[in-house]
């Protein structure tokens, strides 16, 4: 492979590329973490070193394309194009195509162990469901498309007004993971928000699988969340109102803390990530959820665990103390290794004054678990719920969508 000219001064180059080829170049360089200008420089250098011309590239509808190349490279390229009887636009298109062929897209990075994320807080109304859905949507977005993402460190960068939401985002490929969302709340908010129907009381349900009463495979209950950005990667196990009876049923089940794990085990091989939207409860169902998220033998630390959703106000702090006390008891009683994936401060609005800003600071002061996301209280989430669509499909460029993508990458 020929080497591009040494780095130094650069010339601005303006030519043309077909829009489809420019988009492929943009996506591939983002996937590989390479600057576009470096890719074009390498492609032109490789093209010049070829012993014969390549097959023509369809350049119809080519549009303006600008980049920076090492000084002198473009003049050398123009000379090579003239010698070969190829137009500059055609030569550039072939160079970019050659670079794409020599630098294939990386495979989707799948976790060695299915990740199990337990989204919880015994306090209702903090937005656990929105965080569950948004995180799952972000993890399932197409690996061959680019989406605006704010890097995770921006979440923790606080000013007097809270998160620095004015900081620019960057375009990154979607993770392309296979995600199962589990609606473990009998109220069924997750199911309804995603435009699905809750399961009938008279049929099969997750509760029946946990209590040993099911007669059909749990896989039959799973539905697909339809949207092109998720492909066939985002699925939902809907809720059933019989989950209101779950704690009573679990009281007579042997090894009840492992009931959720037994129920979901047949599904794990089909997914990279399982995200459980927990009810606002500290009962036996919560024990089962936390047990399911424990670190298993040989599983990397931080691969699975508990994600706590709070608000920047005092009652969330009280609920947080009760939840962490329950988790500590489970750790001690059953000798479990339970990882905290972090705290998400949801529905944040600095305009609410001292209570909001001081509470946010108190959450960030905890350090372990640390704050891994601050999600603003904005209208797009409420609108998405109203129209029963995934937020990242309804408003993919919204501030909340950008923040949820960063959260997903922070904990994945």
Q: Are residues 244 and 388 in the same domain?
A: yes
Domain end: 76, 102, 128, which one?
A: 102
Tally the domains of the chain.
Answer: 2
* Res 204: pLDDT: 95
Domain of 21 in residue numbering reads as: 10-102
Q: Does the residue 110 lie in any domain?
A: no
Q: How many Å apart are CA 178 and CA 272, to the nearest integer?
A: 5
Q: Are residues 289 and 392 in the same domain?
A: yes
Q: Does the residue 5 lie in any domain?
A: no
Q: How many Å apart are CA 187 and CA 191, to the nearest integer?
A: 9
Q: How many Å apart are CA 9 and CA 295, to the nearest integer?
A: 52
Q: How many Å apart are CA 324 and CA 121, to the nearest integer?
A: 9
Q: Are residues 98 and 121 in the same domain?
A: no
Q: Does the residue 4 lie in any domain?
A: no
Please report the DSSP string for 242-265 in residue order: GGGGHHHHHTTSTTGGGHHHHHHG
**Residue numbers in the chain where pLDDT is lower than 70:** 1-8, 151-168
Query: Who contacts 291 (Cβ-Cβ below 8 Å, separation ≥6)?
Result: 257, 258, 260, 261, 330, 334, 336
* Res 314: pLDDT: 83
Q: Are residues 122 and 77 in the same domain?
A: no
Q: Are residues 47 and 172 in the same domain?
A: no
Q: Are residues 385 and 239 in the same domain?
A: yes
Q: Are residues 184 and 304 in the same domain?
A: yes
Domain end: 75, 102, 129, which one?
A: 102
Q: Does the residue 3 lie in any domain?
A: no
Entry pTM: 0.89
Q: Are residues 180 and 293 in the same domain?
A: yes
3-state secondary structure 223-248: EECCECCCECCEEEECCEHHHHHHHH
Q: Are residues 85 and 132 in the same domain?
A: no
Q: Does the residue 380 lie in any domain?
A: yes
Q: Does the residue 203 lie in any domain?
A: yes
* Res 281: pLDDT: 84
* Res 168: pLDDT: 67
Read off the CATH number of the domain in which 225 is found. 3.40.50.300
Q: Are residues 248 and 365 in the same domain?
A: yes
Percent helix, strand and coil across the chain, each to the nearest 5 = 45, 20, 35
Domain end: 102, 126, 151, which one?
A: 102
What CA–CA distances, in Å, run from 289 to 182, 232, 276, 411?
11, 26, 8, 18
Q: Are residues 136 and 39 in the same domain?
A: no
Q: Are residues 213 and 87 in the same domain?
A: no
Q: Does the residue 168 lie in any domain?
A: yes
Q: Does the residue 109 lie in any domain?
A: no
* Res 167: pLDDT: 55
């Amino acid at each position: 492979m020929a080497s591009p000219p040494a780095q130094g001064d650069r010339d601005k180059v303006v030519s043309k590329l077909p829009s489809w080829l420019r988009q492929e170049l943009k996506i591939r360089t983002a996937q590989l973490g390479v600057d576009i200008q470096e890719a074009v420089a390498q492609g032109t250098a490789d093209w010049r070193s070829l012993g014969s011309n390549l097959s023509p590239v369809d350049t119809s509808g080519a549009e303006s394309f600008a980049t920076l190349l090492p000084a002198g490279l473009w003049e050398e390229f123009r000379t090579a194009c003239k010698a070969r009887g190829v137009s500059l636009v055609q030569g550039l298109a072939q160079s970019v195509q050659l670079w794409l062929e020599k630098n294939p897209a990386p495979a989707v990075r799948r976790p060695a162990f299915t990740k199990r994320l337990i989204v919880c807080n015994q306090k209702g109304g903090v937005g656990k469901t929105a965080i569950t859905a948004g995180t799952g949507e972000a993890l399932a977005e197409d690996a061959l498309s680019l989406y605006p993402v704010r890097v995770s460190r921006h979440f923790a960068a606080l000013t007097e007004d809270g998160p620095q939401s004015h900081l620019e985002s960057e375009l990154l490929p979607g993770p392309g993971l296979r995600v199962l969302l589990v609606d473990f709340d009998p109220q069924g908010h997750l199911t309804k928000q995603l435009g699905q129907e809750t399961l009938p009381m008279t049929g099969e349900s997750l509760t029946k699988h946990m209590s040993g009463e099911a007669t059909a495979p749990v896989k039959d209950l799973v539905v697909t969340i339809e949207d092109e950005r998720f492909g066939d990667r985002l699925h939902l196990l809907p809720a059933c109102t019989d989950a209101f009876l779950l704690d009573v049923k679990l009281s007579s089940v042997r090894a009840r803390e492992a009931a959720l794990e037994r129920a979901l085990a047949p599904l794990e091989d089909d997914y990279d990530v399982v995200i459980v939207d927990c009810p606002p409860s500290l009962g036996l169902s919560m024990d089962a959820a936390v047990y399911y998220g424990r670190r298993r033998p040989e599983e990397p630390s931080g691969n699975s665990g508990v994600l706590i959703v709070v608000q920047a106000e005092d009652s969330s702090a009280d609920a947080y103390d009760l939840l962490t006390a329950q988790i500590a008891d489970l750790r001690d009683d059953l000798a479990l290794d339970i990882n905290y994936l972090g705290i998400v401060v949801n529905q944040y609005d600095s305009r609410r004054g001292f209570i909001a800003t001081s509470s946010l600071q108190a959450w960030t002061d905890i350090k372990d678990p640390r704050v891994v996301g601050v999600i603003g209280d904005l209208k797009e989430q409420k609108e998405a719920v109203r129209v029963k669509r995934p937020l990242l499909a309804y408003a993919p460029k919204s501030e909340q969508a950008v923040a949820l993508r960063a959260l997903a990458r922070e904990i994945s």
